[in-house]
Structure 1
Amino acid sequence: MIQSLRLRLLVGSVLAIAFILLLVASGLSRVFSNYVADRYRADMSAIIDQLAANVEFGGGKVKLTDEPGDPRFELPGSGLYWQVIGQDGLIFRSRSLWDIELAPRTLLTGSYGFDVAEGPDGAPLLVQRRTIDFETSGGTRSLTLLAAFDRKIVDDTISEYHGAMTIMLVLTAAVLLAAAFLQIGIGLAPLSRLQEGLARVRSGATDQLTGEGPTELHPLVTELNGLLKERETAIGRARARASDLAHGLKTPLTVLLQLADNLPDRERIMIRQQVDLIRQRADRQLQSARLGVEQMAQTGLASLTGKLISVLTPVTAARDVTWHVDLDEQLTVDMDPADLAEALGNVLDNATRFAKSEIRVSAERQRDGIRLHVEDDGPGVKDEDLSGIARRGVHLDDDEGTGLGLAISEDVLAAYGGSIAFSRSVLGGLGVTLWLPAHR
C-alpha cells in the first residue's frame, strides 16, 4: 500500500488522465472513421447515380450514354473503379478494372460498412453497390451498379489522423500531468507549513500553531493547539508534584539524620546509608518523571559542550590535560539543554577525573541521530567490566561517591530514545559513545 499522500494523488491523477484520454482517443477515432467512411460512401453513391442517369434501353440492349468523368477510371489499377452488371452478367466496367470483374459472388461484408472485393493488383477494394429496377418498353429490368476504391486509401487517411491525434493526446497528457503536479504541490503546501509550525513548537520558538491556511485545516490546527495546551498543563502539574515530593522528603530525611546523631556509631552509619539510598532513589525517580514530559526542545551540541568544557577547564589545566574538540556548529540535538548538560556533564566529568594528558570529544551525524564520542588516556576499564559501568553504585575508582553519574546519564538518554555505550579508547583509556536523538 502506498504510504505517501503525494504519491497517492499523483498515481490517482495519472490513472484518471490515462483513462479519460483513452476514452477520448477511442471516441475521436470512431467519429473520424465514420466521417471518412460516410464521405467515401457519398462519393461512391454519386458515381452510381451518374451511371444510373446515363443508362438507356433500346432495341433490347443496354447502352451507357456517358461514363463518369474522373480520369482515374481510365488508368488500369488506379484505385477507383465502377461496374454495371445485368441479369445475364457483366455489361460495362471501367477501363481501370482492366480484365477483372467484380462479381457479386466475390463480395463480402467488410469494414466501414462497405462490401469487400479483390482489385486488379490483388489489393482489397471497398465496394458500394446498388440494384436498380428500370422500367422499359419490354418490362422491368434490374441492373446492379457498383463503385469501388482501394481500401488502402481509407486506411492511410485514418492512420495519418491517428498519428496526429496521438501527438495531440501525448501533449495534452503532459500538460494535464504538469497541472496535476502543480495542483498537488499547491494542495499539500499547507501541510508543509503545518509541519514547519510543529517544528517551531518542538524547538520551543512558539507554544501554539497559527490559524493561517485553508479552512479545511483549521479544525486540525485547533485540535493540535488544544493538545499542546493540555501537554503544557500536564508539564506544569508534573513539575509541581516533583517539586512538592522533593521538598516533602527533604525535611523528614533531615530529621532522621539529626536523630541518628544520638545513636551508637553502628546504627548511625546504617541510618545515614539508608537515608542516602532514599535520596538517590528519589532523585532518580524525580529525574525520570521530569524527563517524561520534557522532550520537545532542541539544543546546539557544540555550544553546550563548550560551556561544559569551560567549567571543567580549570581542573584539567592544573594537571596539564589538553582538550581536543571536533564538533560541527550545525549539529542540533533533540533534547532539553538541562537534560543534555546532565547526561554529557557526567561523562565529561568522569573523563576529567581519570585523564592523564588528553581528552578527545568528537561527533558525527548519522541517519537519524548523532554519535558523540568522549575518550581519555586514563587507566581505562577492563573489557569484562565495561558492560557494568553504568549500573547504580558502581565506582570507577576507590574515591567516595554515589556511583550514580553514568547511571543517571543512561537514564536521561533512554528517556529521549538515546543510549550510551562503553569501549576501550584508542588513547588507552575509556571510550564513551552517546547516541543522541536529532531531527534531520
Structure 2
Amino acid sequence: MRSLSGRLRIAASVVLAAFLGLTGLTLDRAFRDSALAAARERLQAQVYMLLGAANLDAFNRLALPQALPEARFSTPDSGLYADAMDNQGNLVWRSPSLLGMALPFFPAVRTPGDTQFAPLISSDETKTPLFVLAFTVSWEIAANQYRLYTFRVAETQWNFLDQLWSFRRSLWGWLLAATGVLLAAQGLILRWSLKPLRRVAAEVTEIEAGRRAELSGDYPEELQPLTVNLNALLRQGHAHLERYRNALGDLAHSLKTPLAVMRGALDNGTSHAELRRTLQEQLERMNRTVDYQLQRAAASGRIALSTPLPVAPVARKILDSLAKVYADRAPRLSSEVGRTTVFYGDEGDLMEILGNLADNACKWCRQRVVVRAYPADRGEHAELVVEVEDDGPGIPPDQAPLLLDRGRRADPSVAGHGIGLAVVRVLVEEVYYGQLDISRGSLGGALVRARLRFQVNG
C-alpha cells in the first residue's frame, strides 16, 4: 500500500468498524441482560401473587383458589405456568395452564427465602423454551410447626426472543447506517485534511515543469518545516547556478583585457624582454582572476537541512596549520570560540573565511593573532560574528575599502595574490548576506569583523 490516503482510509475504517462492532455487542449484551432481569422480576411478582392467594385447607394442606388473579394461570397452554411442591418433592398444586404439560426438573430449594432462576426446556414433546423461577417459603401450619413449600413459576421465552431479535434488527440496522454515514464523512475529512499534501505534489510538478520557482508559503504548520526547507533547497540551487553563471561571465569579461594586451604585444613587434615582462604580468593577472572567480563560484552558502557546524574545531584546525606555515616567525595564535558556537553553512565556506582572515593577520602581525566567534540573535534571523585581530601596524581607514577589492594588496613585498579579503567579502556579503568591517583592535593592529546571517527556520 503506497498510497498515504489509502492507508489512512483502511486504518480509520478498521478502527471505526471495530468500535461500532464492539458498541453493538455491548448494547446487545446490555439489552439481553435487561430483558432477562425483567423476565425474572415478572416471575418473582407472579410468585408473590400466588403466595398472596394461597392458604391452608381444613387438613392443613396448601390450597389455591380456582379463580387466580392472573387469568393466564387458568388458561391451558397460555405460556404462563405454575406449580407447588412440598419438602418431599411431591406436587401439591399445579395451575390449570399446565394441562398436558410438566415443568422441567428443577432442584428443590430447601432454604426458605432462596430463589433460583434459569432458562430450561419443557419436559414434554414440544420442548418449549422456558424461564423458570423457584421460590421456597416456610409455612406455619400450627403453633411452632412449619412446612416448606416451593413455588415454581414458568414463562415461555417467545416474547423474550421476539424482543431480542427486534432490538437486534433495529440496532444493527442503525449501526450499519451510521457506519456508512461515518465512512462517507471520514472520506471527506481525509480528503480535506490531505489537500495540502496534494497541493505540495502539484506545485513540485509545476516546479519540475518550470512553471513555478518555489512552493507557496500558505501551508499548515505541520508542513511548514517541509516546505520551508524545500524552498531553501530550491533557492540554494538557484543561487549556486546564478553564481556559476555570473562567475563565468565575469571571468570571460575579465580575461578579455589581458588577452588583448598580450595580442597587442605580439602584434606590435615589441622586444623579447618587453614581451616577456608583459606576458608575465598578464599571466599573473589572469591567474589571480581565475583563482578569484573559482573561489567565488565555489561558495556553498547556507545548506538547507544541514546540521549546525561547531566553529571551535574548525578554528583550531586552521590555527594549527598556520602555526606550521609561519613556524619561522612563531606567532602566538589563540582562539576565543565557545564550544556552543555553531555555523549554519558549508564547512568549506567557514574555512575560507577564517583561513583568509587568519592568514592575512599572520602576515602582518608582530607576535599575536586572536580569532573570536560568537552568536548574535536578531529575531527571525541568527547572526554569527567572526573577528580576527592582530597586533601589527593596522590598516588605515582610507585604505580599508580598497583592500576589499580583488587584486588590491597593502604591501606588494608580502607574498600573495591580493584576493583573500575580496573572496571573504563576497562570501560574507553576497552569500551569507552579512557585513565585513575593518577597524583597529585592542591589540593595536587590524580588526576584521564579519557578520554572517542565517535563517533560523530553514
The correspondence of residues 58-207 of structure 1 with structure 2, limited to 5 A, is: 58=57, 59-65=59-65, 68-88=68-88, 89-102=90-103, 104-105=105-106, 114-118=118-122, 120=124, 121-137=126-142, 139-207=145-213
Secondary structure at 2:134 match in 1: strand
CA contact (8 A) 1:190 1:213 kept: yes
Secondary structure at 1:148 match in 2: strand
The CA distance in 2 between the partners of 1:181 and 1:86, in whole Å, is 68
Q: CA offsets per residue over residues 160-197 of structure 1, 9 Å max, x none?
A: 11111110100110111011101100100111222232
C-alpha RMSD over aligned residues: 3.3
Residue in 2 aligned with 1:38? 37
Q: Larger deviation: 58-67 or 210-219?
A: 58-67
CA contact (8 A) 1:117 1:127 kept: no
The CA distance in 2 between the partners of 1:244 and 1:33, in whole Å, is 89
The CA distance in 1 between the partners of 2:123 and 2:170, in whole Å, is 30
Instruction: Give me the identity figure in percent.
Output: 27
The CA distance in 1 between the partners of 2:219 and 2:68, in whole Å, is 75
The CA distance in 1 between the partners of 2:106 and 2:185, in whole Å, is 57
Residue in 2 aligned with 1:53? 52
The CA distance in 2 between the partners of 1:207 and 1:130, in whole Å, is 88
Secondary structure at 2:223 match in 1: helix
Q: CA deviation at 1:67?
A: 5.0
Secondary structure at 1:129 match in 2: strand
Q: CA deviation at 1:248?
A: 9.7
The CA distance in 2 between the partners of 1:192 and 1:103, in whole Å, is 70
The CA distance in 2 between the partners of 1:116 and 1:223, in whole Å, is 73
Q: CA offsets per residue over residues 259-296 of structure 1, 9 Å max, x none?
A: 9xxxxxxxxxxxxxxxxxxxxxxxxxxxxxxxxxxxxx
Residue in 2 aligned with 1:264? none
Pair member with larger Rg:
2
Secondary structure at 1:196 match in 2: helix
Structure 1: runs of 5+ lacking an equivalent: 260-440
Structure 2: runs of 5+ lacking an equivalent: 109-115, 267-458
The CA distance in 1 between the partners of 2:44 and 2:82, in whole Å, is 11
Q: Is residue 234 of structure 2 the alignment partner of residue 228 of structure 1?
A: yes
CA contact (8 A) 1:51 1:67 kept: no
Q: CA deviation at 1:247?
A: 8.0
Go from structure 1 to structure 2 and tell me whether the alpha carbon gap of 1:105 and 1:192 turns closer, same or farther (over 3 Å shift).
closer
The CA distance in 2 between the partners of 1:115 and 1:207, in whole Å, is 78
Amino acid at match of 1:166: W
Amino acid at match of 1:219: P
Residue in 1 aligned with 2:221? 215
Secondary structure at 1:215 match in 2: coil
Go from structure 1 to structure 2 and tell me whether the alpha carbon gap of 1:113 and 1:162 turns closer, same or farther (over 3 Å shift).
farther
Amino acid at match of 1:233: A
Comparing both structures, which one devotes a greater share of its residues to helix? 1
Q: CA deviation at 1:20?
A: 0.6
Go from structure 1 to structure 2 and tell me whether the alpha carbon gap of 1:207 and 1:105 turns closer, same or farther (over 3 Å shift).
closer
Secondary structure at 2:214 match in 1: coil
The CA distance in 2 between the partners of 1:117 and 1:64, in whole Å, is 26
Amino acid at match of 1:187: S
Q: CA deviation at 1:242?
A: 5.5
The CA distance in 2 between the partners of 1:236 and 1:157, in whole Å, is 80
Amino acid at match of 2:182: L
Q: Larger deviation: 115-124 or 84-93?
A: 115-124
The CA distance in 2 between the partners of 1:241 and 1:30, in whole Å, is 80
Q: CA offsets per residue over residues 6-30 of structure 1, 9 Å max, x none?
A: 0111011111101111111111011
